[in-house]
Structure 1
Amino acid sequence: MTLNQIKMAIYSIIVTNYYGFKLTKINNSIDRKKIRIDYANKILGKLNIKVKVINEDKIPKDGQYLLTSNHRTIIDPLIVELATQNSTIFGHWIAKKELYNSVFFGKFTRNGGTILLDREALQMSDFFKDIKVCVKEGNSIYIFPEGTRNKTDSPIAEFKEGAQIIAIKNRLPILPVFIRSKANDILMDAVKNPKEQRIIEIEIGDLIDYKDRTLSFEEAYKKQFNIVQ
């Protein structure tokens, strides 16, 4: 690791756990959203990364949705948080068990507004029950439908069926967003040289009706953003 990489790793661990501790004292969505945005600004600001939102006017000012995004890098949730910061929408992220147990992300993940996804669980009834509770409380759900980070050369990896099931079970319109920039490459470059400002573009799509079966969710998502594979 280079000196800049070591410095950034130490800074990120300190800041992430600091905000994770702050979140332990918060029990409402409005303040959680503020802290998540503040945290995203701190980390991306340190990296000198700006988020440019394409079609920001398509983000609803309020309501409940299943927000879906492609996923290539660990900073994708921060990009989404800043893209939606001017809306009152607050979403619980679907988070895998590894993040809950992480020394780095654990405290923040557990307290920041998330729903645990345990892929090793024998049945998923508790997972869907937790989602139902969050939605009844007036919150949205945020998910990466690819299931994990896309490390292929394709613009997006194959979608898991879980996202569409969540939308249908909870009657949530789907709000698709697409991080157009190669965020992982930008992140790696920024860690090496944070003095140079970099921009990540994220595009907002039109709402997709959860009842619309004309196309599969993956096909509808690709059509929204003209993704050809």
Structure 2
Amino acid sequence: MLHHLVRYVLAPAARLAYRPAVVGLENVPADGPVILASNHRAVLDTAVISLVVRRRVQFLGKAEYFTQPGFRGRAMAAFVGGLGYVPVERGNAHAGLAALNAGQKVLNAGGAFAIYPEGTRSLDGRLYRGHTGVAVLAFSTGAPVVPVALTGTENLLPRGARIPRPARITARFGEPLDFSGWTEHNLRARRAVTDEVMAAIQRLSRQEYVNTYHRRPDEDVA
């Protein structure tokens, strides 16, 4: 129910207020399974994709968003559910498998599922090597992959701000990539497909590409 409120009330209001430039939206199929593989610049990227795509898009979300107590917790759960979040436990040995299973369920049901192959937000504006989960989903479901490039979202909610600020936002959607004809699904094939997806994102975003996985400062080894 709430996703209708997001789609038909919140989304038009947000588009009117922030006037994002949207390019290539016709590349997102109106129905049927599709994977939206996006770069990740800011915490509001998920909201931007949800608000500009004209069909419901689902994402992975921390299970804690859905389990907070009290009225505030219920309101949070309803809101993130309306945005399309799918709750997944993180920080344990089964988290990666749970994430893939959640994505497969959405796609097998004919839905749109968005994923950030980098795995985390880029802290320096560069585009980092993608994890191969996007390829696993493409192989296991046969869904096409639409590359997505977001620019300007990092200026919407600067560090320390609580309310989104006016910023020039652009969302570019590339032509769908079809990997359903691949007969090899091994590690080498998954790496090749993921690299192709990241190259498509880079062409859209024009970010500097770094062929290593992104590590946050608290992951650095002394």
| TM-score above 0.5 | yes
Q: Quote the residue 2:66 is aligned against.
A: 100
Pairs within 5 Å for 1:106-121: 106-110=77-81, 112-121=83-92
Any idea what the Cα deviations from partners look like across 1:183-208, whole Å, max 9, x if unmatched?
A: 112433997895xx543111111111
Q: TM-score, normalised by structure 1?
A: 0.67
Letter aligned with residue 193 of structure 2? S
Letter aligned with residue 95 of structure 1? G
Q: Quote the residue 2:30 is aligned against.
A: 61
3-state secondary structure, aligned to 1:53: strand
1:164 aligns with 2:130: no
Letter aligned with residue 209 of structure 1? D
3-state secondary structure, aligned to 1:188: coil
1:74–1:138 Cα change, 3 Å: same
Q: How many residues are treated as equivalent by the alignment?
A: 190
Q: Quote the residue 1:7 is aligned against.
A: none
Q: Quote the residue 2:195 is aligned against.
A: 218
Alpha-carbon separation, structure 2, partners of 1:70 and 1:35 = 27
Alpha-carbon separation, structure 2, partners of 1:140 and 1:56 = 14
Per-residue deviation, 1:77: 1.7
Alpha-carbon separation, structure 2, partners of 1:193 and 1:175 = 27
> Is residue 51–residue 82 contact of structure 1 (8 Å, CA) maintained in 2?
no
Uncovered stretches (5+) of structure 1, i.e. residues with no partner: 1-21, 24-31
Q: TM-score, normalised by structure 2?
A: 0.69
Per-residue deviation, 1:43: 5.3
> Is residue 157–residue 164 contact of structure 2 (8 Å, CA) maintained in 1?
no
Q: Quote the residue 1:146 is aligned against.
A: 118
* 1:51 pairs with one of 20, 25, 28: 20
Uncovered stretches (5+) of structure 2, i.e. residues with no partner: 183-188, 210-222
> Is residue 115–residue 127 contact of structure 1 (8 Å, CA) maintained in 2?
no
Any idea what the Cα deviations from partners look like across 1:57-113, whole Å, max 9, x if unmatched?
A: 32222221011111122221222123212xxx4332111334334658433224543
